[in-house]
Each structure stands twice: as structure tokens, then as C-alpha cells.
Structure 1
Amino acid sequence: MTQLNAGVFLPHALQESICATVFNTSISVSACFEAQLFASTFNVGCVWTVPSNASVIVYGAYRMTSSVAALSVKLAARVSLTVWRRYYSQYRRLAQLCNRYPKVARVHICVGDPTSIFLLHPVLCLCLVLDVWQSVGTVYLQMLAVLQVDDFWQFALGYLYLSRSVWFCYSFLSCTSMLLKKHKREHWFSPLDPTLVAIAAALIAGPFTIVEGGTALMVVYSWFFNVVAPSHHSVETAVSVFVYTIVLGQLPLLTGFGLHFWRVKQPTDYAAIAFNDIKQRVLLRMERLCLGVPSNVRRRGGSIHARGADCYLILYDGHGVAIEVVRLSLIYCIDTTDDDLDVIVLPTFHAFGHMTLVPDETTGVRRLFHHMPLGSGCAWIE
């Protein structure tokens, strides 16, 4: 069965019939089966054989059972998940406060990427995992496309579609981050670049599927498909979905805990473009070349915080020359819930607030001084 495309997805009874046909080419097989997830049918497949000299040709056809209404609801849910008003709405107030800068003729705002905000939101990541498996019928068909190599374009499209499994990795990372923070064990885990996680997940999902369905490992997954199947003419994918999600999701955890023993020193110039994920570094360097910002321009901001969601303000004088780059972060992206942290709020007359972490040598208590602008109502800090 390892030589048969999609053989892993067939019921055991149909697998046995096809094997019997291979040994006796005078016998032909034709049967249909249902692919289910939690007893709900998402695909109907039919397989039939045609003898050809000393071999047997196996044909298969699959039809998704999703309705137009169900697909429309799914599309609406996805659109709502991509709207992150808690982030982009803050830029309106940010633009207004830029008028407070003295001796500045123009301010250019480089908008950040809010990916890091919802990547650490366990509920949102789990919703996106559910969104992947809401399309289990499509995932099923794309796995079939990956398991064959005769049609390269179908293989490539299936390979690309399976990169959605990156949400398995992100959901495991977000839940692990929450648990580590709760038990104050953040130092056990080395931070991972979300861009590299996405690339790794995209590259691994395809080969991982091929190993599952095209090697001896298919025996295990075939058992998963059939162990709780309601009949001999159906397969139940719930167990396989659970195992597939866990195996791919725990890969970045093994990497993060493993890299803890080989820490790489990060740069200390927090306001610099180099203190970013790979995606932000590439985009910001391209934008800097277009905006004419010299490498030796004064930079500030991001002293105790730095994320891809941070934005940059490029300040220009009256001659159009960049004189300063300011890095700003959203205040609710900074964790101030530590029991050993004493937060002190102080007023400031600057355009944006800033934070300073000062340890008390006598008591050992760490004090976080939050300098908040008077009457600004701005959620951004330097």
C-alpha cells in the first residue's frame, strides 16, 4: 500500500480488496467510502481498479460535502480574525501626538507588524488551529496531492497549502509561553524568530506528510484512521488529526528548550533595526534605503522592550534630513504583572511615555518607573 497514492486514507476492507486484486488481476474492485471527522462526513471517495496486462491501474475520485453556506460562514470567521483593531486604531492618536515634537518639520511613521501580539494569544492561536481543521476536507485533498509527484503543480500547491500547519506551532508556543510565565520559568526557553518558525513549518509539513503516507509509518496512521471508524466503509480522522497536530506543534518547543543551552548574545542597541525578527529587518532596511536614513542617525526607544509590533518614527528637519529615529511600543505588550515588580507611575511632559527598570539595592525589589504623558491618552511608549 505504500506504493499506492492515498492508500493510507482507505478503509482496511478496501485495502485488503485492492491487495487481493494485485495478486489476482482477473478480479476488479469498485467501492466508495466516507471520510469523517467526529462522525461528520466531509469527503466521499470512490476507488476502482482496471486490469492492464500484468499490472492493475487504481483510479480514485473524491468529492467534498461542504455547503456554500458553511463555506461562507468560514470565510466571514477568517475575515474577522484578521481584523486587529486593538493595534491599528492606535496609530490615529499616534499621528496626532507627533505634532508635539519641537523643531521637527516632518515625521514619517513606519507601521509595525502585529503578528507577535496575536501569536502569544493562546485563544486566538487555538481558533486558527480550529480554522485549519474546519477545512479538513481541503487538507485531506491537499495531502493526496502531496503524496503523488506525477503532477508537479498539484504537488506544489498541496505543499504550499500544508504550510498552514504553522498555526500548530504557534499555538503550542503561545500556550507554553503562558505556562512558563505563570510558573516564572521563562529562562528555560530560548526565544524563537516567528518568521523562521513559519519557514520551518512550511518546509517540514510536506515531507512529514510524505513520510506518514508513503513509508512503513503509514501502517500506524492507517490504524488511526480505522480504529474508531463507525463502519467498514468509512474512516474516522479524529485520532490522526490529534496526532498530526501534536507532532508538528511540539517541534518548535524542542527547538526552544534545546537552544536554551546554546544562547546567542543579542545586540544591545534596542532601537536599531537589527534588533528585530528577520522579516522586520529586511522590510525596515528596504524602507530605510528608500527614505534616505543614514546609519549613524541618533536612535532611541525600546530600552526594556522590543517586538515586531513596535513602530518607528523618523524625524526630519526643515531641510528634509533625518535627524532621529524613535522606536515605540504598545504599553499593553509589556508584562508588568510580576509579583516582585513595583510599578510607579510618574507624569512627564514628553510627547510619549517611557519606562525605566531600577533595582533597589537595599530591599532587592525591582521598581518600574512608568513616565506617562499628561492628558495624552496614548498607548505608545519609548
Structure 2
Amino acid sequence: MMLWRLVKLLYRIGLCVWIFMLCTTHYYCHVYNLKTIPLHVTSPAITRYEILVGEPTCVVLSNPWLCLAFVVDICASTEYVGQACLRVCQTENWLYFGLGLLYLGRTVWCAYSTLTILNIMLKRCHRTTWFAPANTTVLAVAATWAGGGIVTIQKQWPKVLDLYTSLFVPYDVDADVSMLHHIGHMDIALIMAVYLGMMCSLPFAVAACSGVWNAVQRSTTKMPTLTRKTSFVSILIATNRRLSSIGSIGPIHAMEMVVEPPKHTGESSFHSNDFKHRLMLWFCNLGKLNHGVTCLFTEVDMYTGGSVYPLFQQCPDYQSQCTISQRGGDCYVLSYDRHDHLVEVTRVTLVSQIDLTVVHRPFRINQLTTNAAVGRFVVAKKSDAIRAATLHRGRSNSPWVS
């Protein structure tokens, strides 16, 4: 028993080191590239930058092997899963009930594993429009309540308890205490498979609930079918099916591209995030710039960047991870002039979020280089159904694009 605990300890230490390496090599090391001046080719005279660094959660959760490794860890801790299930079956001690819910929240790794595997399948079958990127925060909260809620609800049904009793008969009863009905071991492989299977289907349940909620919103507000409404709930629950699919795109012809200045779009603002990241950015005063910081422009004109999201909306195949939202990894760069006035807020995204290896390409992507710290992604139209895109990479093959 002590050897098994030592093996589990070393295994979990290895997982922690793995997460640390992913965060460092795939995210935090890239922040160093943002030190280059100027940030844009067309930037005004900037003397100081402030960087609001995002979080690498989306980068970590996009690794399917890491998610599966955590599922293996859950399967290797069945005794603690059983204790947590017993705790959520009672309501006399709410502390134990809460601890049981918290522990069963670990099963969210089953949902993350489903999304990473689903991403591979959708991209291979060119069906990325079937599923929108999921909000990992919503999944974590849903797993915490659903993981223990499933057990609590089943405990209220005597027929279900009788079924479990008949299916999972204890064995390996000690001979010397057989008269006391002392149970030595119990085979719970099947019940664990059923339980984890239900948690693996959690993303589809959240997507279905989101779809029903959006349908109710459209019916109550009498919105047209093709019109999408953005509300607090639609931002909080980002796991929903896309309302329309991408049609066929005609042949691609040559066209000249020029470097454009950063544009002010809705995707540039900090409002284009889920609730958790909006709250984090609000605490960084990004949500109230005009109230606490001396600025030269209005809030709408100040935000730039987010140029990759129009491409993702038109062609989700170009998302490296089309089932898990990657917006939380974006950084915001605040630019100040020599008078210490805030001139610009630029949203930058990792180039690694763009899948440049797509075989079936409705867009042609040209790659150029600039002398700026971050690149720029330009999607242009020459005529109806003819589109082209240019990725202007930053200096020293910058991993960021605005």
C-alpha cells in the first residue's frame, strides 16, 4: 500500500512538472517577444508599454495526452471517488457534502478529454462548424455540481440502488469474519466506467442546454432566426452549436495585399471574453479605462487587435483547437506616449492558435514579415465568394498576432 501511494505521488508530481513546462514553453516564454518597439508598424510615438498577461489554461487543456493522464489518475483513485460519493449521499454534514462535491469536480478532466478528442475528429472530417468552442469555466462548474448531483439523485431512487446492489456483488470476503459480513474488496470497474462515461458526455449536455436557452431567448424576444443576440448568459455559456454552416467558396485568384493599420472591431474589446476573463480584466481596470486613466481617445477607438477571430468565424477549420475556447490566452498591451497618456490597447493572440496546415483551404494564406513586435492577420475580399488572407509575422518570427 505504501509503495502504491509513493507511485501515485511521483505520478502527480510528474503531472505538475508537465503542466509547468507547458505553461512556460508554450505561453510565458512568448510574452518576452512583446518587448519589441514598435508594437505596430503604424504605431504612434510610444514610450511605455504595459502588458496584461492572459492565462495559459486553454493551452494546457488543449493537450489531449495531459487530459487523459488526469483521467488515469482518477481511475487509480477509486477508493477516494467512493468516499466522495458517500459524502454527497448525505445532507447531515454540509462540510463533508461540499468536500465530496469538490473532489468529484476532478471528473471535469473527462469532459476536457472528450473535447480534445472531438477536436481531432472534427478537424479530420472537416466538420468544425458542428461545435463551437466550449467555455472551460462553465464546464468546471457544471462538473462540480453534476458530478455529485448525479450520485445524489440516483441515491433517491430505491430501484437504482437495488440495481447497483445486484450488479456489484462484493467478493473476497475474509473467512475469519465471514459471519460478520466483512467485505474485503468490491469490483467497481463497471460502475466507474459508467460514471466516467456520463461525465465524458457533459460537454454535449451543456451544449444542449445552451441551445435550448438560446431558442427560448429568440422566441421571447421575437428575434429573426439568422440574428444572434449577445447577452450575459450567452457569454457565460459559450458551448453552443453554430447556427449556420460555411457554404462552398469559389476559386481563389491572385490579389495584392498591403499592410493595414490595426482596426477597431468588436473582437478587440475586453468585452469579447467569457465572464471569468472579463471579471479578471475588470480588476485590472481595463473595463473602466476612461474613469481612472488619462486617455486620448474614447474606449471604442482605443481597442485594436483580435484580427484572427473574423477568420475563425468564417472558417473554423483554421482554429488549432475548435472545441475549447482559446480567448483566455490573449494578452492586452497598453501603449502610452511620452506624456504618459494611454493611446492604444492592443489585443494579441498566439499564432499557434492558427492552424496553417489545413489541407482543404477556402482561404489562401500568404506569410510576410514586418518590423513590428506582433504580426497582423488581414482577411480581404476581392469579389463575391473570393477571399484571401495574409499573415504578417512580427519581428524575429514573433509568436503573436494582433
Tell whether 2:29 aligns with 1:89: yes
Question: What is the rounded CA distance, in whole Å, between the counterparts of 1:344 and 1:224 in structure 2?
Answer: 60
* Residues 373, 398 of structure 2: 8 Å contact kept: no
8 Å contact from structure 1 (residues 109, 312) kept in 2: yes
Distance 1:80 1:127 in 2: 13
How large is the RMSD of aligned CA atoms in angstroms?
Answer: 2.9
Task: Provide the C-alpha distance between the structure 1 equivalents of 2:165 and 2:3, rounded to a whole number of angstroms.
Answer: 24
Query: What TM-score results when the alignment is normalised by the length of structure 2?
Result: 0.70
Judge conservation of contact 1:163–1:203 (CA < 8 Å) in 2.
Answer: yes
Q: What letter is aligned with 2:342?
A: A
Q: 1:99 to 1:116 in 2, by over 3 A?
A: closer
1:314 corresponds to which of 313, 327, 334: 334
In structure 2, the CA distance between the partners of 1:360 and 1:184, relative to structure 1 (3 Å rule), is farther
State the shift of 1:318 in Å.
2.4
Q: Which residue of 2 aligns with 1:219?
A: 162
Indicate the residue corresponding to 1:328 in structure 2.
348
1:377 aligned onto 2:397: yes
Q: Is there any run of 5+ residues in structure 1 with no aligned partner, and where? A: 1-63
The one-character-per-residue Cα deviations of 1:281-322 (angstroms, maximum 9, x if unpaired) are: 110011126873563451111122361111110112223322
Q: Secondary structure of the equivalent of 2:329?
A: coil
Among 351, 355, 358, the residue aligned to 2:377: 355
Residue 328 of structure 1 aligns to a residue whose secondary structure is: strand
**How many Å apart are 1:194 and its aligned residue?**
1.7
For residue 226 of structure 1, give the secondary structure of its aligned residue in structure 2. coil
Q: Counterpart of 1:303?
A: 307
Secondary structure of the residue that 1:192 maps to in structure 2? coil
Q: CA deviation at 1:346?
A: 1.6
Partner residue, 2:53: 111
TM-score where L is the length of structure 1: 0.73
Aligned to 2:88: 146
Q: Deviations over 1:342-373 (max 9, x none)?
A: 221122233311112335648x6643311123
| 1:368 aligns with one of 370, 383, 389 | 389
Q: Partner amino acid for 1:93?
A: N
- Mapped partners of 1:209, 1:153: distance in 2: 17
* Distance of aligned partners of 1:149 and 1:87 in 2 relative to their CA distance in 1, 3 Å threshold: same
**Offset of 1:208 from its aligned partner?**
1.0
Counterpart Cα distance in 2 of 1:123 and 1:75: 14
- Give the letter aligned to residue 357 of structure 1: V
Paired residues of 1:347 and 1:371 also in contact (CA < 8 A): yes
Comparing 234-243 and 322-331, the one that deviates more = 234-243
Q: Distance in 2 between matches of 1:105 and 1:222?
A: 71
The question of whether the paired residues in 2 share the 8 Å contact of 1:188 and 1:257 is answered with: no
As a proportion of its length, which structure holds more strand?
A: 1
What SS is found at the alignment partner of 2:284?
helix
Gap runs ≥5 in structure 2: 174-182, 216-227, 232-264, 310-325
Asked whether the 8 Å contact 1:274–1:281 carries over to 2, the reply is yes
Is the contact made by 2:36 and 2:373 (CA closer than 8 Å) also made in structure 1?
A: no
Mapping for residues 1-382 of structure 1, pairs under 5 Å = 67-83=4-20, 84-85=23-24, 86-96=26-36, 103-216=45-158, 217-226=160-169, 233-256=184-207, 259=210, 262=214, 264-265=228-229, 269-288=266-285, 292-293=292-293, 295-296=299-300, 298-305=302-309, 307-338=327-358, 339-340=360-361, 341-358=363-380, 361=383, 366-374=387-395, 376-382=396-402
Find the residue that maps to 1:308 and give its secondary structure. helix
Task: For residue 114 of structure 1, report the CA deviation from its aligned partner.
Answer: 1.5
Which is richer in helix?
2
1:223-253 Cα offsets, whole Å, 9 max, x none, are 44339x6778531111111110111221221
Deviation for aligned residue 1:164: 1.2
Is the CA contact 1:98–1:107 (under 8 Å) kept in the aligned structure 2? no
SS in 1 for 2:266: coil
Residue in 2 aligned with 1:49?
A: none
Contact in 2 for aligned 1:224/1:240 (Cα 8 Å): no
Per chain length, whose mean CA-contact separation is higher, i.e. which structure has more relative contact order (CA < 8 Å, sep 6+)?
Answer: 2
Question: CA, structure 1 residues 165+349, in 2 after alignment: closer, same or farther (shift >3 Å)?
Answer: same
1:236 partner amino acid: D
- For the 8 Å contact 2:89–2:152, the answer to whether it is kept is yes
Q: 2:211 & 2:125 partners in 1: Cα distance?
A: 17
Q: 1:127 to 1:234 in 2, by over 3 A?
A: same
8 Å contact 2:394–2:401 — kept in the other structure? no
- SS of 1:337's partner is coil
Q: CA deviation at 1:275?
A: 0.7
Distance (Å, rounded) in 1 between the aligned partners of 2:198 and 2:113:
13
Separation of aligned partners in 1, 2:82 and 2:141: 22
Question: Helix, strand or coil for the counterpart of 2:327?
Answer: coil
Assess if the C-alpha contact under 8 Å between 1:109 and 1:314 holds in 2.
Answer: yes
Amino acid at match of 2:348: L
**The 10-residue stretch of structure 1 (153-162 or 339-348) with the greater mean CA deviation from structure 2:** 339-348
